[in-house]
Amino acid sequence: MKLIEHSNGFTLNYKNEVVIEHTEENPFIFVGKGHATYDMYRGNFKIEENIFERIPLINYKLENDDNVKLTMYTEGYKMLQLDFYEEAGRLICKLNTNDEAINRVWIRLYAEKEEKVYGLGEQFSYFNLRGKNFPLWVSEQGVGRNKQTYETFLADVEDKAGGDYYSTFFPEPTFVSSRKYFFHTDESSYMNFNFKENNYHELEFWHVPDKFIISRKDSFLELLEDITALLGRQAELPEWIYDGVILGIQGGTETCLDKVKKAKELGMPVAGIWAQDWEGKRITPFGKRLMWNWQWNEEMYPGLDTEIKKLSAEGIKFLGYANPYLAIEGNLFKEASGKGYIVKNHIGEDYLIDMGCFYAGVVDLTNPKAFEWYKNVIKVNLIDFGLAGWMADFGEYLPTDAVLYSGESAELLHNKWPALWARLNYEAVEERGKLGEVFFFMRAGFTGSQKYSTMMWAGDQNVNWSLDDGLASVIPAALSLGMCGVGLHHSDIGGYTTLYHMKRTKELMKRWIDFSAFTPMMRTHEGNRPDDNWQFDSDVDTLMHLARMGKVFNKLSPYTKALVKENSDKGIPVMRPVFLHYEEDETCYNLQYEYLYGRDILAAPVYKEGVEKWNVYLPKDNWVHIWTGEEFTGGEIEVEAKEGYPPIFYRKQSEYSKLFSEVGKI
Amino acid sequence: MKLIEHSNGFTLNYKNEVVIEHTEENPFIFVGKGHATYDMYRGNFKIEENIFERIPLINYKLENDDNVKLTMYTEGYKMLQLDFYEEAGRLICKLNTNDEAINRVWIRLYAEKEEKVYGLGEQFSYFNLRGKNFPLWVSEQGVGRNKQTYETFLADVEDKAGGDYYSTFFPEPTFVSSRKYFFHTDESSYMNFNFKENNYHELEFWHVPDKFIISRKDSFLELLEDITALLGRQAELPEWIYDGVILGIQGGTETCLDKVKKAKELGMPVAGIWAQDWEGKRITPFGKRLMWNWQWNEEMYPGLDTEIKKLSAEGIKFLGYANPYLAIEGNLFKEASGKGYIVKNHIGEDYLIDMGCFYAGVVDLTNPKAFEWYKNVIKVNLIDFGLAGWMADFGEYLPTDAVLYSGESAELLHNKWPALWARLNYEAVEERGKLGEVFFFMRAGFTGSQKYSTMMWAGDQNVNWSLDDGLASVIPAALSLGMCGVGLHHSDIGGYTTLYHMKRTKELMKRWIDFSAFTPMMRTHEGNRPDDNWQFDSDVDTLMHLARMGKVFNKLSPYTKALVKENSDKGIPVMRPVFLHYEEDETCYNLQYEYLYGRDILAAPVYKEGVEKWNVYLPKDNWVHIWTGEEFTGGEIEVEAKEGYPPIFYRKQSEYSKLFSEVGKI
């Protein structure tokens, strides 16, 4: 670290890269005050900011001993003290202010025109984040996510739910620059990171961050290893996941068994049944909804307790569903409420949240007793019952005006909630000694999910081909999460959101299956309106298609397992940006719909309707087209891409090349 | 004026009303710096603000002699000097700063919770402006103007043209508070007036205003008189306007004569023909467009020079069209360009603006020679040719990066342009000695239009029933302009914008005719896609309908003339908010679709489809339903409201009551 003063400011370098450039005209830090209103409607937020002041801190005092101790101030007015020091091979900057009323900070990091930026959690619309600003606020992901599309318009008008390019279940103030550094802060307030300017990145915080961290490495792989050394790494996945497809089925024990039987008869490798309605359903004007009372519903799933064991003996696991909310009609809510474990409103009552035709309370995870109680619900009702996994859904709905047991501000806890929810699930599994055997998958996340969320899924895609909210959007989502150290990601096969005119077609279902065979987990979903959607068992052709791609997935498992282990050991994601291994190739930095599946496979999923050929960019290497064996050495190519034969290439020199060639013959 | 200091601030009173409340915690003024990008597409602007700083000026120094001389500052840093003094019965505040880089100012005026605010030029969606913020920027008005409507969505996606609730051709930093003061500033930068807060109005300026003005009166009538004493008043309208309907016709001399003949045969009082294509048309992929070369097109209008005289002898005037732009193919552009009269771009070339499939230049009205030259075009080609009036269209398209002859910033001149364009037309008429005989009507405006625009029209409504952009929206538009001292207003009968699925129905046409009989001018428009729209002559029934309502309009003219004269003498608008004469009635302050047509008529136009009855609020008075003679003394009532019998009431004690009762028998 080196601070060099010049005529009207200074430059802070770290490992030969400029981090901060400060001049009187272009100061690097601003402080201020403001207040915001958060209007939440079913997990969608309208946030309005009222800025009182924004003061550039132009003057500085420097105490340069070992570390850089900097006081930034405005004559006789505001000040902020910044202590820069190195720790564990990273640059740390601690912030302190003399004015407790300050609740806005803007930091400008030095930037270069051609620089690119990746990460910020799960970003669905843009992988390279340069040229846009990204509010960081845990919320519903939005339906459509592009104000130019009709679906977004309808969702906005009918449910305030359209979202925008930055809407995400899982934002995180962590990013990687193409200048080979990462930035991270443990801050959890509303933030807005702006990468629009040529000369700086402006990072806005609605709270004074305790500190921020910058790490510089010689390669992106080393950076990812360092991010996860800091934030934690995911455990390995249970072995049984690689056995085949997890079928999303609802409707009761018999339906599940029937569907599995049919699938098995056609040779499908089935790893599990995922029945989100294992705890029962309710009928609302909104359609069928789950019961939100996390225990086996015996009426709907008669004999499930014994069937789970039978299925398990046949090598088929049973998975369920839970979320951090309790519907007010259930016994769990009543118990939690009685114990005072439900998050309160400002007059001390249980804060009841409109979930769409029913109300639910949020278990107060800041109360250690409530946390333990709810963890125990998971242990007893889910794990001990025999579930091998569950969707640990939601996490986005903590209202900012809630009153928490810990006394902390809900405005600051809102973003952290998904990570708390992840930790609860994680500890439940860990304390039952089931890590690596039982797992859960989440859509919401924040800093901390790296360690505590055993698997992510991409949330609720539309059942369509749209870039911002359809099949395609899953790829940048996986890649951006990977750049934050979350390397396990999959999606609802076929998408989820089925509204308005949208219905899942057979073609979309098949393309999504093809894509998912090259992700670390295959799981189908019926969508929110199953009857409107093409399903995996809508015809024999689709069943056969899924059976074959399930075999591909299963056959690949030695390779996939090694990738998952690498993710667990080093934080190198399973699905990787192409530039991770081809740093010298400029083109790779702009690929957002292609990825490396580990070191040795390049996947370029087909995400458009009605095509039979596909254009792929291959960085310079010896590539083999997995289905035909045709060899390529790089560049823009066009390949046949019929259903069931997605554009997949492996490296000829891979130690798995024999395996890959066998996969190609399935 | 009185400044009272208290423990940590001061209060400034003016005529017993608090104007400013300043404390350390809630200072009344902020200064700062910022820069904006203005992205114009065919008159629609995407404006992005990048705020560098916003500094509250907490400290103050007071030199209190006769006037209040106040220096607001931040310790050793920014300051702003404010000199308050009284002049012509108004409170003036002059602003001066020591820092030339300051280009943002925020002023907080004291406000009360129940206070209401009106004006800001022509506002189509809201008459009472409280609860919203209003950017003040001259632009296209938007198609749909409500992000919740499908038409707005389509217009946004296809042409960036949807607009929003505040989009207007005619904004103005002038408003009237229900606390009986008006605020005005001559500032012309981008402004944003925010009336959302309970305790203050925050007025944002992207330039340090030279001064602002506040006037307090005992009644709204006196306030309007004072606004127009300050800003100017409109001339009276030509007598011939009251003769009947001005028919919007296109297509050549013969078509015009034929249509008038047919109308006259059915007894329609016709005051004039308005032929916007008098200067010719061009065919573009966009549809038919006008030629934008302001001179008689002899091919399209053969013999028009002599026909104008013949028509005039029969009591029918001929009206045309012009705007401040010159299409590059025309001889006028070539002449102006040759003389250097076209606004330049940053490299000194003529700035050519995309007008939708053709380009045009803006005549540089800051160049006195160009101004005179263009004025002479109007004099010779329009007035001397024999036009009795014209639509002086547009005025919104000055790009902010244009280079002007005067050296002034186009960012600051942009808003002023419509008023310059109005003055040019006004002076052309005046210098020909034709005021009160020849006139023009405009959609765009700004401070100064009070004096120079002889008549406003409401611009381009959709041919539908929408509140934000249909028939209804014309009423708040007229009322808000009236509160800024612009008292002459009318609209395209039937609306204009015919896009997507929108087509004008017969019912809409007839309701619009009914409404327009109670405005100071009746003029039909074919709309931008005439073939898709119901026209005044689409059937005999509609012709007869217009004939009858034209007679109503004509019969009312002694009354209307007196109103127009009152507007000219005192600035009391012809169409008036009901509260103007019923200050004690709280309900009247929220009526935005009813108005007083002068002192003695209350009009409540039907603006919904498929109704036969209508609810009307009548303030306490003796009202007579004009069509039935039924009497009312006030309150919520329901009346029959068939086509041709709009809900119109007159005051029984009016000196015009005999006239009104005769009108009711037509």
> If contacts are CB pairs under 8 Å, which of residues 131-150 in chain A contact chain B?
147-148, 150
pLDDT category of residue A356 using cuts at 50, 70 and 90:
confident
* Residue of B236, B393, B492, B526 marked active site: B393
Structural contact between residues A199 and A164, judged by C-beta atoms closer than 8 angstroms: no
What DSSP string describes B638-666? EEE--TT---EEEETT-TTHHHHHHHTT-
CB atoms within 10 A of CB A624: 20
Indicate if the pLDDT at residue A125 is higher than 70.
yes
For testing the chain B interface, which of A23, A74, A100 should be mutated: the one with the most B CBs within 10 Å? A74
Core vs surface per residue B437-452: b (16+ CB within 10 A) or e:
ebbbbbbbbbbbbbbb
Average pLDDT over residues B14-22: 95
Average pLDDT over residues A403-420: 98
Residue type at A276 in one-letter notation: Q
Residues 6+ apart with CB under 8 A from B396: B43, B138, B139, B140, B169, B417, B418, B444
Touching check for A49 and chain B: CB below 8 Å?
A: no
Question: Tell me, what's the pLDDT at A32?
Answer: 93
Q: State how far the Cα of B551 lies from the Cα of B135, in Å rounded to an integer.
A: 41
**Structural tokens at position A579:** 């530039």
Touching check for B56 and chain A: CB below 8 Å?
A: yes
What angle (nearest 5°) sits at the alpha carbon of residue B42, between those of residues B38 and B45?
25
**Which tens digit of pLDDT belongs to each residue from B591-619?**
999 999 999 999 999 999 999 999 999 99
Closest CA to B218 of B621, B484, B583: B583
Q: State how far the Cα of A489 lies from the Cα of A563, in Å rounded to an integer.
A: 12
Q: State how far the Cα of B104 lies from the Cα of B204, in Å rounded to an integer.
A: 7
Question: Tell me, what's the pLDDT at A596?
Answer: 98
Structural contact between residues B457 and B441, judged by C-beta atoms closer than 8 angstroms: yes
Torsion angle of C-alpha atoms B630, B634, B635, B637, degrees rounded to 10? 10
Structural contact between residues B355 and B377, judged by C-beta atoms closer than 8 angstroms: no
Residues 6+ apart with CB under 8 A from B7: none
> Fold match between A2-230 and A579-663?
yes
Chain A closest-CA separation from residue B76 CA (Å): 6
CB atoms within 10 A of CB A338: 9
Residue in chain B nearest A194 by alpha carbon: B50
Structural contact between residues A583 and A220, judged by C-beta atoms closer than 8 angstroms: yes
Interchain proximity B53–A52, CB inside 8 Å = no
Q: In what order do the strands lie in the sheet with A17-23?
A: A2-6, A9-14, A17-23
What DSSP string describes B534-547? --TTSSHHHHHHHH
Q: State how far the Cα of A194 lies from the Cα of A207, in Å rounded to an integer.
A: 17
Number of helices (H) and strands (E) in chain B: give both, helices first.
14, 39
Calculate the average pLDDT of chain A.
Answer: 96
Average pLDDT over residues A280-308: 91
DSSP A380: I
In the annotation, is A460 catalytic?
A: yes
Average pLDDT over residues A147-172: 97
Q: State how far the Cα of A272 lies from the Cα of A631, in Å rounded to an integer.
A: 36
* Residue of A172, A279, A396, A514 marked active site: A396
Three-state secondary-structure class, residue A323:
coil
Q: State how far the Cα of B27 lies from the Cα of B303, in Å rounded to an integer.
A: 68
Average pLDDT over residues A420-446: 98
Which residue has tokens 């398209």? B397
Interchain proximity B51–A56, CB inside 8 Å = no
Core vs surface per residue B242-259: b (16+ CB within 10 A) or e:
bbbbbbbbbbbbebbbeb
Longest dimension (CA), chain A: 80
List phi, psi (to 5°) of A508: -60, -45
- State whether the Cα torsion A265-A271-A277-A279 is positive or negative: positive
Torsion angle of C-alpha atoms A47, A53, A56, A62, degrees rounded to 10? -100
All residues of chain A having their beta carbon less than 8 Å from the beta carbon of residue B56 are 52-53
HSE (side-chain half, CA atoms, 13 Å) at B378: 33
Question: Tell me, what's the pLDDT at B74?
Answer: 65
In the annotation, is B115 catalytic?
A: no
Domain ranges of chain A: 2-230, 239-323+366-399+410-575, 579-663
Q: How many CB pairs under 8 A join A and B?
A: 38
* Residue of B156, B187, B243, B396 marked active site: B396
All residues of chain B having their beta carbon less than 8 Å from the beta carbon of residue A76 are 75-76
* Residue of A277, A307, A364, A393 marked active site: A393
pLDDT category of residue B76 using cuts at 50, 70 and 90:
low
Could you tell me where the DSSP H helices lie in A189-233? 220-231
Closest CA to B514 of B629, B627, B661: B627
Touching check for A286 and chain B: CB below 8 Å?
A: no
Touching check for B37 and chain A: CB below 8 Å?
A: no
Classify residue A558 by burial, with Cβ atoms within 10 Å: 0-12, 13-18, 19+.
exposed
All residues of chain A having their beta carbon less than 8 Å from the beta carbon of residue B108 are none
Residues 6+ apart with CB under 8 A from B569: B233
User: Which residues on adjacent β-strands are paired with residue B178?
Assistant: none
Torsion angle of C-alpha atoms A552, A556, A557, A562, degrees rounded to 10? -160
**Which tens digit of pLDDT belongs to each residue from B202-213?**
999 999 999 999
Residue in chain B nearest A152 by alpha carbon: B153
Structural contact between residues A105 and A205, judged by C-beta atoms closer than 8 angstroms: yes
Chain A closest-CA separation from residue B159 CA (Å): 11
Indicate if the pLDDT at residue B285 is higher than 80.
no
In the annotation, is A401 catalytic?
A: no
Interchain proximity B32–A54, CB inside 8 Å = yes
User: Which residues on adjacent β-strands are paired with residue A183?
Assistant: A175, A214
Structural contact between residues A410 and A399, judged by C-beta atoms closer than 8 angstroms: yes
CATH (residue range B579-663) = 2.60.40.1180
Q: State how far the Cα of A92 lies from the Cα of B130, in Å rounded to an integer.
A: 47
Q: State how far the Cα of A510 lies from the Cα of A434, in Å rounded to an integer.
A: 34
Question: Tell me, what's the pLDDT at A77?
Answer: 63
Indicate if the pLDDT at residue B75 is higher than 70.
no
Touching check for A35 and chain B: CB below 8 Å?
A: no
Interchain proximity A54–B53, CB inside 8 Å = yes
All residues of chain A having their beta carbon less than 8 Å from the beta carbon of residue B32 are 54
Residue in chain B nearest A155 by alpha carbon: B148
ipTM over 0.95? The verdict is: no
Chain B closest-CA separation from residue A174 CA (Å): 24
Residue type at B6 in one-letter notation: H
Touching check for A101 and chain B: CB below 8 Å?
A: no
For testing the chain A interface, which of B29, B77, B468 should be mutated: the one with the most A CBs within 10 Å? B77
Average pLDDT over residues B351-370: 95
Of B53, B76, B156, the CB nearest to A55: B53
Class of A239-323+366-399+410-575 per CATH?
alpha beta
For the segment(s) B2-231, the CATH number from 1.25.40.10, 3.20.20.70, 2.60.40.1760, 3.30.70.250 is 2.60.40.1760
Residue type at B306 in one-letter notation: T
Which residue has tokens 């910033």? B409
**Which tens digit of pLDDT belongs to each residue from B542-566?**
999 999 999 999 999 999 999 999 9
What angle (nearest 5°) sits at the alpha carbon of residue A308, between those of residues A304 and A310?
115
All residues of chain A having their beta carbon less than 8 Å from the beta carbon of residue B104 are none
Classify residue B583 by burial, with Cβ atoms within 10 Å: 0-12, 13-18, 19+.
middle
Q: State how far the Cα of A520 lies from the Cα of A170, in Å rounded to an integer.
A: 19
DSSP A532: G
* Beta strand pairing call for B489-490 and B456-457: parallel
What angle (nearest 5°) sits at the alpha carbon of residue B524, between those of residues B387 and B505?
160
**Which tens digit of pLDDT belongs to each residue from B484-537?**
999 999 999 999 999 999 999 999 999 999 999 999 999 999 999 999 999 999
Indicate if the pLDDT at residue B77 is higher than 90.
no
**Structural tokens at position B261:** 């003949």
Indicate if the pLDDT at residue B66 is higher than 70.
no
As a whole number of Å, the end-to-end CA separation of chain B is 55
For the segment(s) A2-230, the CATH number from 3.40.640.10, 2.40.128.630, 2.40.30.10, 2.60.40.1760 is 2.60.40.1760
Element (H, E) at A422: helix A417-431
* Residue of A460, A492, A526, A537 marked active site: A460
Of A77, A150, A153, the CB nearest to B75: A77
**Structural tokens at position B255:** 């078509």
Residues 6+ apart with CB under 8 A from B314: none
All residues of chain B having their beta carbon less than 8 Å from the beta carbon of residue A55 are 53, 55
Of A53, A74, A148, the CB nearest to B30: A53
